[in-house]
Amino acid sequence: MDRRTFLMRSGLAALAPLWPRSLFAGKPFRRRRPSDPDWPSPAAWKRLNDEVEGNLIPVEFPIEACIKDVESDACKNLLATIKNPYYIGDQPGMTQTLGWVDAWFTKPSVYAVAARDAKHVAAAVRFARENQLRLVVKGGGHSYQGTSNSADSLMIWTRHMHDLTVHDAFIPQGCEGKHLPQRAVSCGSGAIWMQAYDAVTTKAGGYVQGGGCTTVGVAGLVQSGGFGSFSKHYGTCAAGLLEAEVVTADGKIRIVNACNDPELFWALKGGGGGTFAAVTRVTLRVRELPEYAGGAIFKVKASSDDAFRRLLRYFVAFYRDNLFNHHWGEQAIIGSNNTLRLSMVSWGLTTEEAMKTWQPFLDWLARSPADYTIDPGMVIGSMPARHWWDVAWRKEHHHPVFNSDSRPGAPETNVWWTGDGGQVAWTIYGYESLWLPASLLEDGSQQRLSDALFASSRHDWIGLHFNKGLAGAPSEAIEAARDTATNPSVLSAFALAIIAEDGGGYPGVRGHEPNLDEARKARDDVHRAMNELRAVAPAGGAYVSESDYFEKDWQHSYWGANYARLAAVKRKYDPAGLFFVHNGVGSEEWSTDGFTRL
């Protein structure tokens, strides 16, 4: 069989022009490991340390203490602090997600450049390229896919690059006379979203579209596309990118924007973190803040399967008629125990307006008291939007929504939402996502959607993340997202469905190891549940940062028709594949660990 016939039969012909000729011939290229004779010498590492001004550090692995002796004081101290995401973020040898059963577990790099500026990052990039090393970039360390860690690697660790500057009249470099000045914020690539929100919203009274989780890295979210609680109004995080400082695989520091390296700039807007360059700084658009933000939080229990079917059917119609707009985002959780849990946020509505929105739904429930009960503690209301992330204000007004970093000397703003606590030091069993098209909300399709939701819930719980689908958003937000690399499916989706299961533990830690049988069963349940939704949304696509490690045809699931363009950018700026992440653009050319070019 000739090469062309082989490619046609294997379905790869469309991608072949994007791959280098060496893919199909010659000895495979393999990156070096510490056990190899040509691993860099101590003198070479010293030269790198000198170049980065003493910021090359050996990477410690705190979990090793528990692998050695679970009764040791070091292990007990670790187990007491490992649920603190700020502690994890300060450890270059750890990631917030500990791993994924049958996929990956966090492993320490050999060395890390604890970068303080772009010159340090550039030195690390050049050293990795010249010495054929596996390179990883870690900022927030939240990746479910394990993209910010690899054993036997050199890490660029940007945790200390967290400076923030708010601009009143920012114009991207080289865009003078082409772009009008606007409010913006520049964030070092080690900054997390709580730091950005504190600077932009609490202190400056503006809004920057970021992530819902306060400890997610700013730069990583931009590169993945990025959604936050208010994305139904403001759009994606990536769409707000105005400029980025990056180090490309050739070791050059570049300022990229719509006027300089525009294709690379576009790829950074949702093309996947750690793939095209090492980002050292991003500048994002700052928007107007509404007077109020709020939410609707309560749980409804149905007394029977039939009652739950009716509840889902009514909620689908109620959502389309009352909530399918830029005012409402976040989640509805559909449980296998016949519960509907609402954890939604509102933008720009007073408490009275929010209550008026939900009253018809509450009245409908009240008419069938034998079928539906609402758990105590229902909250529907609003608060001043400027205080959404204001820790001191929340404490003063008795809003217990945050967990705090309890380490001595920790800043008061080191907090995370109580609802995000389950994602700290967790081990994933199964995780899948699917964009649901707004066409399912049409009158003739609502029954199909509600039936699919019920069928799915017989296998597992479903989270409908309304803020992660842009249908119903203002046209400006949709058009801005259209000019990003994110899968275009997001533009016409009313929600992102997420189904996931997780547990705890780490292999080798006695008494704290993952339950493999339980994990694999849970993964099967997740898959069966999502297949019920795929039956009504067969071409929905998946969100790269929240998706299956084993995603099939991930190129099109994550990026749709944008993949070919992204692959061309990858070939131009990183032809040798220095930057590798699992299921990232160009990763099909490499072994699963990123060490061997196929």
pLDDT (tens digit per residue) in 157-208: 999 999 999 999 999 999 999 999 999 999 999 999 999 999 999 999 999 9
Tally DSSP H helices, then E strands, for the chain. Answer: 18, 23
**Is position 181 within any domain?**
yes
CA separation, residue 589 to residues 390, 543, 595 (Å): 46, 22, 11
Phi/psi for 23 (5° steps) reads -60, -30
Last residue of a domain, one of 288, 313, 341: 288
Residues 171 and 84 occupy one common structural domain: no
**Is position 192 within any domain?**
yes
User: In 10 A of CB 374, how many CB atoms?
Assistant: 13
**Is position 409 within any domain?**
no
Residues 93 and 32 occupy one common structural domain: yes
Question: What CA–CA distance (Å, rounded) separates 457 from 215?
Answer: 30
Q: With 80 as the cut, is the pLDDT of residue 8 above it?
A: no
Q: What's the mean pLDDT in 434-453? A: 98
Pairing of strands 372-374, 292-302: antiparallel
Q: Which residue reads 């791993």 in tokens?
A: 99
Last residue of a domain, one of 288, 305, 333: 288
User: Which domain, by its residues, includes 44?
Assistant: 28-159+583-589
Residues 6+ apart with CB under 8 A from 195: 162, 164, 187, 218, 413
Burial code of 120-153, b = ≥16 C-beta within 10 A, e = fewer?
bbbbbbbbbbebbbbbbbbbbbbbbbbbbbbbbb
Q: What is the pLDDT of residue 302?
A: 98
CATH number, residue 179 = 3.30.465.10
Burial code of 193-227, b = ≥16 C-beta within 10 A, e = fewer?
bbbbbbbbbbebebbbbbbbbbbbbbbbbbbbbbb
Torsion of CA 590, 151, 584, 465, to 10 degrees: 150
C-beta separation of 245 from 253 below 8 A: yes
Write the DSSP assignment of 311-345 as a string of letters: HHHHHHHHIIIII-STTEEEEEEE-TTSEEEEEEE
Residues 183 and 265 occupy one common structural domain: yes
Local structure of residue 43 (DSSP, 8 states): H
Burial code of 272-286, b = ≥16 C-beta within 10 A, e = fewer?
bbbbbbbbbbbbbbb
Q: What is the pLDDT of residue 28?
A: 84
Q: What's the mean pLDDT in 526-532? A: 98
Q: With 80 as the cut, is the pLDDT of residue 63 above it?
A: yes
Confidence of residue 3 (pLDDT cuts 50, 70, 90): very low
Q: For residue 135, what are its two tokens?
A: 């390179």
Residues 266 and 282 occupy one common structural domain: yes
C-beta separation of 292 from 384 below 8 A: yes
C-beta separation of 377 from 300 below 8 A: no
Q: With 90 as the cut, is the pLDDT of residue 471 above it?
A: yes
CA 12, distance to chain mean position in Å, is 29
Nearest by Cα to 277 from 596, 53, 489, 585: 585
Last residue of a domain, one of 288, 314, 334: 288
Residues 38 and 136 occupy one common structural domain: yes
Across 14-28, 122-136, 301-315, 427-441, least confident range: 14-28
Q: What is the pLDDT of residue 504?
A: 87
**Is position 190 within any domain?**
yes
Residues 189 and 282 occupy one common structural domain: yes
CA contacts within 13 A on the Cβ side of 309: 9
Residues 95 and 193 occupy one common structural domain: no
Tens-digit pLDDT profile for residues 207-259? 999 999 999 999 999 999 999 999 999 999 999 999 999 999 999 999 999 99
Nearest by Cα to 110 from 50, 51, 36: 36
State how many domains the chain has: 2
C-beta separation of 260 from 569 below 8 A: no
Task: Output the average pLDDT for the chain.
Answer: 95
Residues 6+ apart with CB under 8 A from 95: 88, 106, 138, 141, 142, 143, 146, 148, 149
Tens-digit pLDDT profile for residues 280-325? 999 999 999 999 999 999 999 999 999 999 999 999 999 999 999 9
Q: What is the pLDDT of residue 26?
A: 56
Across 21-30, 360-369, 431-440, least confident range: 21-30
- Dihedral sign computed on CA atoms, order 126, 127, 132, 135: negative
**Is position 200 within any domain?**
yes
**Is position 243 within any domain?**
yes
User: In 10 A of CB 583, how many CB atoms?
Assistant: 20
Residues 275 and 187 occupy one common structural domain: yes
Tens-digit pLDDT profile for residues 567-591? 999 999 999 999 999 999 999 999 9
C-beta separation of 506 from 530 below 8 A: no
What's the whole-model pTM score? 0.94
**Is position 565 within any domain?**
no
Question: What CA–CA distance (Å, rounded) separates 532 from 537?
Answer: 9
Q: Which residue reads 């307006």 in tokens?
A: 353
Kind and range of the H or E run holding 360: helix 351-366
CATH number, residue 145 = 3.30.43.10
- Any alpha helices (H) in 147-216, and if so which ranges? 193-197
**Is position 390 within any domain?**
no
Q: What is the pLDDT of residue 15?
A: 38
Q: For residue 182, what are its two tokens?
A: 């606007």
Residues 84 and 43 occupy one common structural domain: yes
CA contacts within 13 A on the Cβ side of 197: 26
Nearest by Cα to 497 from 563, 458, 452, 554: 452
User: In 10 A of CB 497, how many CB atoms?
Assistant: 27
Q: What's the mean pLDDT in 77-106? A: 97
Residues 69 and 137 occupy one common structural domain: yes
Residues 184 and 260 occupy one common structural domain: yes
Residues 185 and 236 occupy one common structural domain: yes
Tens-digit pLDDT profile for residues 389-423? 999 999 999 999 999 999 999 999 999 999 999 99
Q: For residue 389, what are its two tokens?
A: 């992330």
